Amino acid sequence: AQKVTQAQTEISVVEKEDVTLDCVYETRDTTYYLFWYKQPPSGELVFLIRRNSFDEQNEISGRYSWNFQKSTSSFNFTITASQVVDSAVYFCALIVGIPWYNNAGNMLTFGGGTRLMVKP
């Protein structure tokens, strides 16, 4: 069975600080997909990024960057120069297997989430 662990339950930073959210995953499959979602105070879940197990390239999107390391089974998320609007709960999630062969409907397994509070 697969598992996603987000050891940091809450992080508090001051605006403009950099912050890294940790995500560690467990799976025996060699093919899998990792995701990050943001849940702002309004409650909806917003997709941020998808990464598949064959692509270990780091990715940068504006102030956001992701570091995928298969050797440590980690998929960490860094926000550079944090802003108050970044305050939210962030979830890391995992799908295993090859989706189009998987009749189980591509089930996402979520970590427990990290609540990020950015203070002005």
Partner 1 sequence: NAGVTQTPKFQVLKTGQSMTLQCAQDMNHNSMYWYRQDPGMGLRLIYYSASEGTTDKGEVPNGYNVSRLNKREFSLRLESAAPSQTSVYFCASSERQALRMGYTFGSGTRLTVV
Which residues fall within 8 angstroms of residue 77, CB to CB, at 6 or more apart?
20, 21, 23, 36, 48, 64, 65, 66, 90, 92
Taking the complex as a whole, the smallest distance from the CB of residue 10 to partner 1 amounts, in Å, to 10
Minimum CB distance to partner 1 smaller for 43 or for 120: 43
Minimum CB distance to partner 1 smaller for 24 or for 108: 108
Minimum CB distance to partner 1 smaller for 16 or for 50: 50
Kindly state the number of chain residues that form the binding site for partner 1, as judged by CB under 8 A. 28
- DSSP letter (8 states) at residue 63: T
104 touches partner 1 (CB under 8 A)? yes
Report the site for partner 1 in 38-97 (rule: CB under 8 A). Answer: 43-45, 47, 50, 91, 93, 95
- H/E segment holding residue 15: none
CA 14 to the chain's CA centroid: 21
For residue 55, give the nearest of 26, 36, 33 by alpha carbon: 33
Token pair belonging to 95: 């799908």
Residues found near partner 1 in the complex (CB under 8 A): 4, 6, 9, 33, 35, 37, 43-45, 47, 50, 91, 93, 95, 99-100, 102-113
